[in-house]
Amino acid sequence: MRPPARPRETGPMDVSPAQLSTLLFLALVDSTSVGTLVVPLWLLLAPGATRVGRMAVYLGTVATFYLGVGLLLLAGVDVASGLAGGLADQRWLRWVQLVAGAGLLGWAVLWTRRPDTGSPGRLRRWRERVSADSSARGLVGLALVVTVIELAMMLPYLAAVGTISATDGSWPTRVLLLAAYCLVMVLPALVLTAARVAARRRLDPLLVRVDGWITRAAGETTAWVVGIVGFLLLGDAYQALS
């Protein structure tokens, strides 16, 4: 006879430490995307003094957009779960998840071995737009364009929404978790902005090097993100099937 299962340890909001760690890790991965880090670097490197208002408009738009998309996804997951009933407990779905995770991981490995084709032209066009239009309307438009395009590769965010939907928390708890996730996504850019204001132009050489490295490694960064999500899916499916 099998011993009774131990109850899962949860925090004060019915969220386990493992779930919180996963969300923090995924949020930090999302914080290195073009929309959350590269474009803010371009704003910081623009000629003249650092305008905190411009950064606040841009990052506020990005965070609000992701929060809205996340709430819609959470609502969709709830509806789908209600319609599917116990479908998620079926082993064949776990096998599908296992194969999908292995496929993403394999794609990431193959992508990192492809020849370097240089910085994508799309990044250059976005950088030109940052330099050409510094109005609030232009920054909001740029933030929406970047985030909508990045939706196709928002795998860490999708994994985070799945993690939040799997918690035992109520809807207010899930909304709070999602809002905190979006805040962590833009936190590195906020820290760089504060450092740029404090250090003035002394920080520019470092920002230029970081910008150059991220721009050159844009494709490889995408592969790393896909590989990490594939690994998480693979590990979760393997644990469920064991």
Q: Which residues are CB-neighbours of 32 under 8 A, at least 6 positions away? A: 188, 214, 221
Q: Which residues are CB-neighbours of 224 under 8 A, at least 6 positions away? A: 108, 112
Residue 118: predicted pLDDT: 46
The closest of 44, 74, 12, 37 to 184, measured between CA atoms, is 37
Which DSSP string corresponds to 145-202?
HHHHHHGGG-HHHHHHHHHHHTSS--HHHHHHHHHHHHHHHHHHHHHHHHHHHHHGGG
The pTM of this model reads 0.73
DSSP state, residue 72: H
Q: Which residues are CB-neighbours of 91 under 8 A, at least 6 positions away? A: 241
Is residue 39 a contact partner of residue 47, using CB atoms and an 8 Å limit? no
The closest of 53, 12, 31 to 225, measured between CA atoms, is 31
DSSP state, residue 7: P
Residue 6: predicted pLDDT: 47
Residue ranges of domains in the chain: 17-83+120-212
The C-alpha atoms of residue 35 and residue 59 are separated, in whole angstroms, by 9
* Alpha carbon separation from 76 to 31, 79, 83, 162 (Å, rounded): 24, 5, 11, 11
DSSP state, residue 5: P
Alpha carbon 54 to chain centroid distance?
22
The C-alpha atoms of residue 143 and residue 134 are separated, in whole angstroms, by 12
Is residue 38 a contact partner of residue 188, using CB atoms and an 8 Å limit? no
The C-alpha atoms of residue 24 and residue 154 are separated, in whole angstroms, by 15
The C-alpha atoms of residue 35 and residue 148 are separated, in whole angstroms, by 10
The C-alpha atoms of residue 134 and residue 118 are separated, in whole angstroms, by 27
Q: What is the pLDDT along the chain (242 residues), one digit of tens a residue?
A: 445 444 444 444 577 888 888 899 889 988 988 889 888 888 888 776 677 888 999 999 999 999 999 999 888 877 766 655 555 555 666 677 778 778 878 877 776 666 554 445 566 666 666 665 567 788 888 888 888 877 767 778 888 888 888 787 788 999 999 999 999 999 999 999 998 888 877 777 877 777 776 666 655 666 777 777 778 778 777 777 77
